[in-house]
């Protein structure tokens, strides 16, 4: 048995599975994905969401895969919770032309790298590491840098996800010739959906939640945790122009430990500003589209606690939402110049309000981001030829 690429993944990830499925369609038999665990399929307790999570989309179909079940304790809970058991045997069985790692977060990843090197198989890497997502002490930063310098010596090719990711590799002595772009993306849940259908779903969603047709809906999507800083949306209200605030609704899609605190803030906002809030609770993958259509803009106000990219920004733009992110969010460097994308300083509620007001002047356009993306692709193709 021989394939071109053997991918080592900790577990099935909802935004990477479509990549493997597409590769299989384009070149059947070219890819095989080895999972240390299938916990995201069978369900596992996600402490940040606050309950058991099992994604409701096909995660193990449409491409060749193996589940090694090399778990030690609670999977994904730490470095040693995914071991390298079975990695070497699978490499010998499949005989790939190259091995792709999607992280260095677990012992499993290291064992896959070492086994590939042992068999003289090229090792590729695609992960979202960057140097601006966390605040670190000087000592920790130096130690981290040394570790990465050593680790990257074992890598033959690296696919960078965004500009900050690319800068990270260059900073840690990776030769520019080893770098190739492989941008982050999410499955387009709106593909093939025409404007009348999107409008219908938007109206249905608003009617079901009692949101007026002319309401300006400022949304949040993700885990309701300190890292994401969703509470800043209530601090923002004080700085919004009264005319805009009077027609604003806050819309929280997700669950987490801050839910009770946010609900208390919602009660206060209703009393003080007459601003209503809606909480959807946890939303599974197949139901995301309609919620994004309800929103006018989506805000990701994360702190410097590890928001290396921020994929909800991709999802929101696919739905036509305007997007605001803090400068702690990795994708701010890649999308910051787009027409309806804004970046504000981390923790600055006043500046967040300014950015929200700048986006409130636009009429809802489901395709603005798609049109920009198509223009970028066309330009790349023209440059290539």
Per-residue model confidence as pLDDT tens digits over 68-106: 999 999 899 999 999 999 999 999 999 999 999 999 999
DSSP string computed for 88-148: HHHHHHH--SEEEE--SSSHHHHHHHHHHHHTT--EEE-----SSSB---HHHHHHHHHHH
Q: What is the pLDDT of residue 260?
A: 97
Summarize the confidence of residues 32-44 as an average pLDDT.
89
What angle do the packed helices 107-118 and 87-94 form, to 10 degrees?
40
Checking if the pLDDT of 2 tops 60, the result is: no
Dihedral in degrees, nearest 10, Cα atoms 362, 368, 373, 374: -140
**Ramachandran sector of residue 223 (left: φ over 0; alpha: ψ -120 to 50; beta: rest):** beta
Question: Which pLDDT score, from 0 to 100, does residue 26 have?
Answer: 94
Element (H, E) at 198: helix 195-209
Phi then psi dihedrals of residue 71, to 5 deg: -95, 145
Question: What is the mean predicted confidence (pLDDT) over 334-346?
Answer: 97
Range 195-370: architecture per CATH: 3-Layer(aba) Sandwich (3.40)
3 state SS of 178: helix
Q: Is 172 helix (H, G, I), strand (E, B) or coil?
A: coil
**Considering only 28-37, 42-51, 88-97, which range has the smallest mean pLDDT?**
42-51
Q: Nearest 5 degrees, angle CA 97-CA 170-CA 183? A: 60
Q: Where are the domains of the chain?
A: 5-181, 195-370
Instruction: Kindly tell me the burial class for residue 356, based on how many C-beta atoms sit within 10 Å of its own C-beta (0-12, 13-18, 19 or more).
Output: buried
Helix (H) or strand (E) run with residue 364 in it: none
CA separation for the pair 254, 234 (Å, rounded): 16
Same fold, 5-181 and 195-370: yes
Query: Stretch 33-45: mean pLDDT, rounded?
Result: 86
Q: What is the pLDDT of residues 50-69, one digit of tens each?
A: 666 666 788 999 999 999 99
CB 3 within 8 A of CB 96: yes
| Percent of the residues in the chain that have a pLDDT greater than 70, as a whole number | 96
Centroid of chain to Cα 345: 20
Q: What mean pLDDT comes out for the span 297-302?
A: 98
CATH number of 5-181: 3.40.50.2000
Q: How many residues does the chain have?
A: 385
pLDDT value, residue 13: 92
Confidence band for 154, pLDDT divided at 50, 70 and 90: very high
**pLDDT, greater one: 109 or 184:** 109
Say if pTM beats, i.e. exceeds, 0.85.
yes
Could you give the 3-state DSSP secondary structure of residue 53? strand
Distance CA 38, CA 63 (A): 15
Angle between helices 311-318 and 368-384 (to 10 degrees): 110
3-class secondary structure, 216? strand
- The pLDDT mean for the chain works out to 93
- pLDDT for residue 51: 63
pLDDT, tens digit (0-9, with 9 covering 90-100), for 323-336 = 999 999 999 999 99
DSSP characters for 306-340?
S-SS-HHHHHHHHTT-EEEEETTSTTHHHHTTSTT
């Amino acid at each position: 048995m021989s394939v071109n690429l053997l991918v080592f993944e900790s577990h099935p990830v909802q935004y990477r599975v479509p990549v493997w499925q597409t590769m299989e369609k384009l070149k059947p038999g070219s890819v095989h994905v080895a999972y240390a665990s299938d916990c995201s399929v069978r369900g596992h307790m996600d402490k940040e969401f606050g309950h058991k999570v099992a994604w409701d989309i096909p995660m193990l179909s449409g491409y060749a895969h193996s589940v090694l079940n090399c778990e030690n304790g609670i999977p994904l809970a730490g470095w040693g919770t995914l071991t390298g058991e079975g990695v070497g045997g699978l490499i010998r069985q499949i005989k790939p032309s190259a091995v792709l790692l999607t992280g260095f977060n677990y012992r499993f990843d290291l064992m896959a790298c070492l086994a590939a090197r042992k068999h003289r198989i090229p090792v590729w890497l695609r992960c979202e590491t960057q140097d601006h997502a966390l605040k670190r002490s000087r000592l920790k930063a130096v130690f981290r840098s040394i570790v990465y310098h050593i680790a990257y010596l074992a890598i033959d090719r690296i696919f960078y996800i965004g500009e900050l990711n690319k800068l990270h590799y260059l900073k840690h002595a990776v030769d520019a010739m080893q770098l190739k772009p492989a941008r982050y993306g999410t499955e387009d849940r709106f593909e093939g959906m025409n404007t009348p259908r999107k409008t219908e779903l938007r109206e249905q969603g608003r009617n079901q939640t009692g949101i007026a047709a002319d309401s300006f809906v400022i949304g949040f999507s993700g885990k309701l945790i300190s890292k994401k800083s969703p509470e800043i949306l209530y601090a923002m209200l004080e700085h919004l122009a009264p005319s805009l605030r009077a027609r604003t609704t806050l819309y929280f899609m997700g669950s987490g430990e801050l839910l009770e605190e946010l609900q208390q803030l919602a009660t206060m906002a209703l009393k003080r500003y007459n601003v209503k809030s809606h909480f959807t609770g946890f939303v599974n993958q197949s139901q995301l589209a309609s919620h994004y259509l309800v929103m006018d803009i989506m805000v990701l106000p994360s702190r410097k606690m590890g928001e290396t990219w921020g994929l909800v920004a991709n999802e929101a733009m696919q739905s036509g939402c305007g997007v605001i992110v803090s400068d702690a969010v990795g994708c701010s460097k890649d999308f910051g110049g787009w027409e309806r994308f804004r970046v504000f300083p981390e923790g600055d509620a006043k500046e967040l309000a300014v950015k929200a007001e700048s986006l409130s002047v636009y009429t809802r356009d489901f395709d603005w981001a798609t049109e920009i993306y198509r223009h970028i692709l066309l330009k790349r193709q023209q440059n290539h030829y």
